[in-house]
Amino acid sequence: MAERTNWAGNITFSTAVQAPGSVPELQELVRSSERVRVLGTGHSFNRIADTSGTLVSVLDLPRVVTIEESAVTISAGLRYGEVTAALQAEGKALHNLGSLPHISVAGACATGTHGSGNANGTLASAVTAITFIDARGELVTLSKGDPDFLGSVISLGALGVTVQIQLETRPTYEISQVVYDGLPLDRLGSDFEEIFASAYSVSAFTDWLDPDVMVWRKLRAGTPYEPTWLGAHLADGARHPIKAMPADFATQQGGVVGPWNERLPHFRLEFTPSNGEELQSEYFLPRAAAGEAFEALRALGSKLAPVMQISEVRTIAADDLWLSPSQGRDTVALHFTWIQDEAAVLPVVEALEAALLPLDARPHWGKVFTADAATLREVYPKVPDFIPLAAKYDPDGKFRNDYLNTYLPAT
């Protein structure tokens, strides 16, 4: 039970991690502990998962993958890459995936992780039922339509320890991925709607200074694409999101058709990306604010440049999950990969938030931000509903930690 750091290495957890091998063992651990938090695959960049009490991993729970006609029920510790391979083998698929197939399903859903695509909701929007261990150590199952369901999926671990999730599935489909170099930065704003409507999933990579933007378009198989497009041209080889990095870990590009689970992520499951000498921040804005946000970022370009490795722009469809970054509105997501130097990065994050928060930006729950609790309550309008919901399943604050006490204080 050695101490552990997160994926990026910027957080050392305050206590050793315990990994029960069964759900009953986990229930008893929850019952006997004064404070409990759950660690997934460690892809958060702040102390959302930390505790001085009992830090629990669900990665060693018995593997469950039960595939039905239009749903799959899985154990919470499984990684997306494991689940998607099982689905693909049965001719099934999920609606979307994040950049990394290495992340756990439960952790990704609990923090609002997403992919891209105008019509694609967050990964959590595919959840149709969730089973968790509440503060009494009892199993609770909530399904779509239950009064508490919409607050239980993206829950930041505040309701309990998730042990099983049901996801909506669809028939398998194929994707081809094409990468364009040289999209003029001006056109990212002027042609925003056309760019992000041009494929099933679209990601644009920029540093907000370079006049050329790289765009990854993930197209449904059979969708034609052009050698030149909006002033950009097809890349002459494989690309990594950070242009200077080798593309070995990136998923197949060049328009080669393949199954959804091998094209929608940016990175291949069979390779482990470097253990992230980086920090990350992300902000979610109403899609209508994209142009104004891009202008603000260009004005900040010289301040961003010394501490930023790359910025990614994606879109997400609206959903109704209470703590979702796209709750109630179609969204543009602005992601920032920083160097791993917190002292240098935080002042830049403050400047970034000064520009974006007036545009109703929502910080990502699991990444680096400086906004306070009052701001989060304002930009996430369902927070006042979520806090009593958490208290219902955890009346004594067993699942609370410094992070939740700071940003979602109990009333």
Model confidence at 277, in pLDDT bands (50, 70, 90)? Answer: confident
pLDDT tens, position by position, 190-244: 999 999 999 999 999 999 999 999 999 999 999 999 999 999 999 999 999 998 8
Mean pLDDT score, 129-158: 98
Mean pLDDT score, 104-128: 97
Task: Indicate if the pLDDT at residue 54 is higher than 70.
Answer: yes
Mean pLDDT score, 44-73: 96
Domains annotated for the chain, with CATH where assigned, are 65-172 (3.30.465.10)
3-state secondary structure of 95: coil
In 287-355, which ranges are E strands? Answer: 308-316, 331-339
pLDDT tens, position by position, 285-325: 999 999 999 999 999 999 999 999 999 999 999 999 999 99
pLDDT tens, position by position, 330-375: 999 999 999 999 999 999 999 999 999 999 999 999 999 999 999 9
406-411 contacts, C-beta under 8 A, 24 or more apart: 406/373, 407/372, 407/373, 407/376, 408/156, 408/158, 408/373, 408/376, 408/383, 409/373, 411/387
Host H or E run for residue 329: none
DSSP secondary structure string, 2-33? ---B-TTSS-B-SS-EE--SSHHHHHHHHHH-
Host H or E run for residue 357: none
| Lowest mean per-residue pLDDT among 235-249, 317-331, 395-409 | 235-249
- pLDDT for the residue 124: 98
In 243-328, which ranges are E strands? Answer: 257-259, 278-286, 308-316
- pLDDT for the residue 274: 55
Task: Indicate if the pLDDT at residue 411 is higher than 80.
Answer: no
| 59 Cβ neighbours under 8 A, 6+ residues apart | 19, 40, 41, 77, 104
Whole-angstrom distance, CA of residue 257 vs CA of residue 259: 7
CA distances 108 to 211, 245, 358, Å, are 33, 26, 27
- pLDDT for the residue 7: 87
Mean pLDDT score, 153-181: 98
Q: What is the mean pLDDT of the chain?
A: 96
Among the listed residues 109, 57, 64, the one whose alpha carbon sits nearest the alpha carbon of residue 82: 64
Contact assessment for residue 142 and residue 152, using Cβ atoms and an 8 Å cutoff? yes
- pLDDT for the residue 2: 53
Going by their DSSP bridges, the two strands 54-57 and 36-39 should be labelled as: parallel
Model confidence at 177, in pLDDT bands (50, 70, 90)? Answer: very high
| 215 Cβ neighbours under 8 A, 6+ residues apart | 179, 180, 183, 195, 202, 203, 204, 205, 232
- pLDDT for the residue 1: 45
| Lowest mean per-residue pLDDT among 117-121, 268-272, 357-361 | 268-272
Mean pLDDT score, 253-271: 95
Whole-angstrom distance, CA of residue 300 vs CA of residue 56: 40
Q: What are phi and psi of 197, to 5 degrees?
A: -95, 0
